[in-house]
């Protein structure tokens, strides 16, 4: 299938989504959010895909939402557009795949919201992030405020959102938004290396670990521990558990299927 605003590449269990409207820093438009949601449905049903790397062409990861488009929307249309972006990030979080954001440039507004919807974020040293929405008379409405405060705490999230300041890669790493910062020319190699490392681990273990992280984040500790216990027990019914522990005892690398 061909998409108007993004490119799709598959290789050995890894899918690369590249946002591809560099003329506007890959800004989120109605078309691009529809394309992204459509490609996520394809990935969700692809059993051969275990890790997804999301990046952008040119100087932008996703430079934000298309302001010219948003300026013409009324209250209902604005809410619908915001919800369309939210549907994409929720799909990424709920899906049993690991999502790595390779943030190569600007990730502002909706672009940062998409990056925050990924499990892991690797930044180029040239990456710039922020939530400029309050300067536009709106708010980060596609989950940015909720996910950011869970990463950095409500105080730092308030500062970032209220000021609209642009944050560099080193500060993003210091705040816990970025997992790693690399040289621009090494960004995709670093993301691929991490993806390949994840592929050597148990598919079942990785999927259930992501489920535990996502479910536990939004519940109290006692319920989260109960959830972990049930998922842990479920692992013991799988071939991955048998192979992983047998390989450990036999001092060899596991071969997961």
133 as an active site residue: the answer is yes
Distances in whole angstroms, Cα of residue 163 to Cα of each of 82, 84, 135: 21, 26, 8
HSE of 131, CA atoms in CB hemisphere, 13 A: 26
Q: Which of 57, 91, 93, 133 is catalytic?
A: 133
183 as an active site residue: the answer is no
Q: Would you give the distance in Å from CA 11 to the centre of its chain?
A: 19
DSSP 238: S
Q: Please report where in the chains the tokens 């536990």 appear, as a residue.
A: 216
Pair 65, 106: CB distance under 8 Å:
no
What is the maximal distance between C-alpha atoms in the chain? 64
Distances in whole angstroms, Cα of residue 4 to Cα of each of 21, 25, 69, 84, 116: 9, 15, 17, 17, 24
> Which residues are the active-site residues?
113, 133
């Amino acid at each position: 299938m061909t998409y108007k605003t993004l490119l799709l590449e598959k290789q050995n269990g890894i899918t690369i989504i590249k946002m591809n409207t560099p003329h506007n820093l890959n800004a989120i438009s109605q078309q691009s959010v529809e394309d992204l949601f459509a490609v996520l449905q394809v990935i969700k049903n692809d059993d051969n895909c275990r890790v997804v790397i999301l990046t952008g062409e040119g100087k932008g990861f996703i430079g934000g939402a298309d302001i010219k488009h948003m300026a013409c929307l009324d209250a209902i249309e604005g809410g619908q557009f915001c919800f369309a972006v939210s549907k994409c990030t929720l799909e990424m979080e709920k899906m049993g795949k690991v999502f790595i954001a390779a943030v190569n440039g600007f990730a502002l507004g909706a672009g940062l919201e998409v990056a925050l919807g990924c499990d892991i974020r690797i930044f180029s040293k040239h990456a710039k992030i922020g939530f400029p929405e309050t300067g536009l008379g709106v708010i980060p409405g596609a989950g940015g405020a909720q996910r950011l405060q869970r990463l950095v705490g409500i105080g730092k999230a308030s500062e970032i959102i209220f000021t609209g300041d642009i944050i560099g890669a080193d500060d993003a790493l210091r705040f816990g938004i970025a997992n790693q910062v690399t040289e621009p020319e090494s960004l995709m190699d670093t993301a691929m290396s991490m993806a390949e490392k994840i592929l050597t681990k148990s598919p079942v273990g990785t999927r259930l670990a992501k489920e535990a992280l996502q479910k536990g984040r939004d519940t109290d500790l006692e319920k989260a521990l109960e959830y972990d216990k049930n998922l842990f027990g479920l692992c013991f019914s799988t071939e991955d558990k048998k192979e992983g522990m047998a390989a450990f005892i036999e001092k060899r690398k596991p071969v997961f299927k």
